Amino acid sequence: MKTVLFIILPYPSHYNACFGLAQKAQDRGFKVVFTGYPHLKDHIEKQGYTFHAMEYTSEYNIQTIKGFIAFFLRSLLEKKEIRNRYRVWYRSVIEIRSVHEQYRPVQIFLDAHLSHYYLYLLKYRQSITILSTKLSTKRSPGLPPLNSFYVPKDTYLSKLYCEALWIKYIVKIRLRRLKNSLAFLGKDEHHFQQRLCKKHGVQWNSIFEQQNTFFIGLKETPTLILGSEKLEFPTRKIRPYEKYFQLPIHRNEEKYFTQDYMRVLERIQYLKNTRAFSTIYCAWGTLNNGDTKVVSSFMNRLVDTIITREDLILVVSTGSMNIDIEENDQIFLLDRVPQLNMLNHSDMMITHGGHNSIKECLQVGVPMLVYPLNVKVDQPGNAVRVYVNGYGIYGQMNKDTPEMILNKINGVLLMKKNLKHLEELKEITQHIFHPNSPFYEFDKLEV
């Protein structure tokens, strides 16, 4: 049996985005293997795929002056420090090559966040397709970076402002790289990668590009954007080597069908049979330590909003967050929720704007109220695109009052009733492979 290898950034959200494609490969008869940290083994194997534990290349992110001085002095005074760091870095190169030798995959799907692994596997001349679990992160004329709240317009001033946003972002990234380079006396991971490029007889700049959000991008490499083009700004021009690829999202959620969840569904069904009401589902994804206080404050305002109306039910997936809210006939708190199932019983979702949650809402035609939680990632850009394309509304978690939240909830529920294109969006997720596509050869591979 031939193997398809997924080298994915080791976070559940990145794996979840790839499961539709992995299922398609498995249905074709291929063995599907995912790499990851050991603690993620259960998450992968419960979906029916093979898991291979490995350590990933670690990257330093020096954020403070104190940290910079510590690394600089250590590099300056300890002669073996650079050599040891190089050995640690090169071990990750050897490890991914050993994974390749073990499975001999006919196709590799590489997470866009891990573009440096393209270089590590260059010697095999293997068929590698980049998987972008986000919308396009590449620089596009007249459009802002994906971490921006700005809504572009078709004017000269707007295009100029978008260019300024990109310049600001790229300068920030280059300064961070310069800081790392100085801290390690020029012998940082970027230097190690350049040495490997030289060994393979290629220039670093011929493979990688910096006109990209969040991570270093690859030049003209076949890329599958795991999402719908319908969620992009309408003016975005697709590059020849890019393809939007939205398969139906599938996930084994059996372990989340708890007695408490079934009790909530019974309550929803009872109300559906007795009077008109709306179900609001709320989830925030994986929270960082600094997010809890902000979310808890917002949740108190949200609950104050919900209880002003008897025709609303709020179901909250709390995850690891402790929320000081009492449950009642309108408010239900659950540690974990089978989200794909829950959305089928929901009239709207309140979300942080993660790409996976947005795709799942679009798949079942559920409009969204987006409150970006992390403004350093793609959530602001996702929120703006949801709004521009008419799939929902976005707000500001720190500023919106209960009255503002209620107005936005009313607006989103009105979308559910009036926007036919939310139903039409379901058809987008029925995308299948095109056997004759010159861009994508996967469906031609023989098992």
Query: What local confidence, expressed as pLDDT, does residue 320 receive?
Result: 67
Would you call 124 exposed, middle or buried from its count of C-beta atoms within 10 A (0-12, 13-18, 19+)?
A: middle
- What is the fold of 3-247+431-444? Rossmann fold (3.40.50)
The answer to whether the beta carbons of residues 74 and 81 sit under 8 Å apart is yes
∠ CA 423-425-429, rounded to 5°: 125
The answer to whether the beta carbons of residues 50 and 32 sit under 8 Å apart is yes
The answer to whether the beta carbons of residues 244 and 21 sit under 8 Å apart is no
Q: What is the sign, positive or negative, of the torsion defined by CA atoms of 43, 47, 48, 54?
A: negative
The Cβ of residue 347 has, within 10 Å, a number of other Cβ atoms equal to 20
Inter-CA distances, 345 with 230, 267, 281, 336, 349, Å: 24, 11, 9, 16, 11
Report domain extents, the chain. Answer: 3-247+431-444, 254-428
Query: What is the DSSP code (8-state) at residue 181?
Result: H
The helix/strand/coil state of 73 is: helix
- The gap from C-alpha 124 to its chain's centroid, in whole angstroms, comes to 28
- Domain 254-428, CATH number (from 3.30.420.40, 3.40.50.360, 3.30.465.10, 3.40.50.2000): 3.40.50.2000
The Cβ of residue 445 has, within 10 Å, a number of other Cβ atoms equal to 15
Would you call 355 exposed, middle or buried from its count of C-beta atoms within 10 A (0-12, 13-18, 19+)?
A: buried
The helix/strand/coil state of 433 is: coil
Query: What local confidence, expressed as pLDDT, does residue 428 receive?
Result: 42
- The gap from C-alpha 331 to its chain's centroid, in whole angstroms, comes to 29
Query: What local confidence, expressed as pLDDT, does residue 437 receive?
Result: 35
Nearest CA-CA partner of 431 in 234, 241, 227? 227
DSSP percent split of the chain into helix, strand, coil, nearest 5: 45, 15, 40
Inter-CA distances, 344 with 326, 362, 365, 370, Å: 25, 11, 9, 18
* Per-position pLDDT tens, the chain of length 447: 889 999 999 999 899 999 989 988 898 899 999 999 999 999 999 999 999 999 898 777 787 888 889 888 888 888 788 888 889 899 999 999 999 999 999 999 999 999 999 999 988 877 899 999 999 999 999 999 999 999 999 999 999 999 999 999 999 988 888 998 899 998 888 899 999 999 888 888 889 988 899 888 999 899 999 988 889 999 998 888 899 887 778 778 888 899 999 999 998 888 888 877 899 999 987 777 677 788 888 988 998 888 888 889 999 998 767 777 777 888 999 988 999 999 999 999 999 999 999 999 988 889 999 999 888 889 999 999 999 999 999 999 888 999 999 999 999 998 876 665 565 555 444 433 333 333 344 555 554
Query: What local confidence, expressed as pLDDT, does residue 424 receive?
Result: 54
Q: In angstroms, rounded to a whole number, what is the distance separating the alpha carbons of residues 22 and 422?
A: 26
Query: What local confidence, expressed as pLDDT, does residue 155 receive?
Result: 94
pLDDT in tens, 143-177: 999 999 999 999 999 999 999 999 999 999 888 88
The pair of three-digit structure tokens given for residue 398, joined into one six-digit string: 């720190």
Residue with tokens 């009642």: 328
Query: What local confidence, expressed as pLDDT, does residue 293 receive?
Result: 81
Strands, E assignment, 38-149: 50-53, 107-111, 128-132
Predicted structure pTM score: 0.86
Assess whether the region 3-247+431-444 and the region 254-428 belong to the same CATH fold.
Answer: yes
Inter-CA distances, 430 with 126, 226, 274, Å: 29, 13, 34
Query: What local confidence, expressed as pLDDT, does residue 277 receive?
Result: 86
The Cβ of residue 243 has, within 10 Å, a number of other Cβ atoms equal to 17
Query: What local confidence, expressed as pLDDT, does residue 423 receive?
Result: 58
Q: In angstroms, rounded to a whole number, what is the distance separating the alpha carbons of residues 330 and 306?
A: 8
Inter-CA distances, 191 with 108, 177, 178, 200, 270, Å: 26, 11, 11, 15, 63
Q: In angstroms, rounded to a whole number, what is the distance separating the alpha carbons of residues 361 and 263?
A: 23
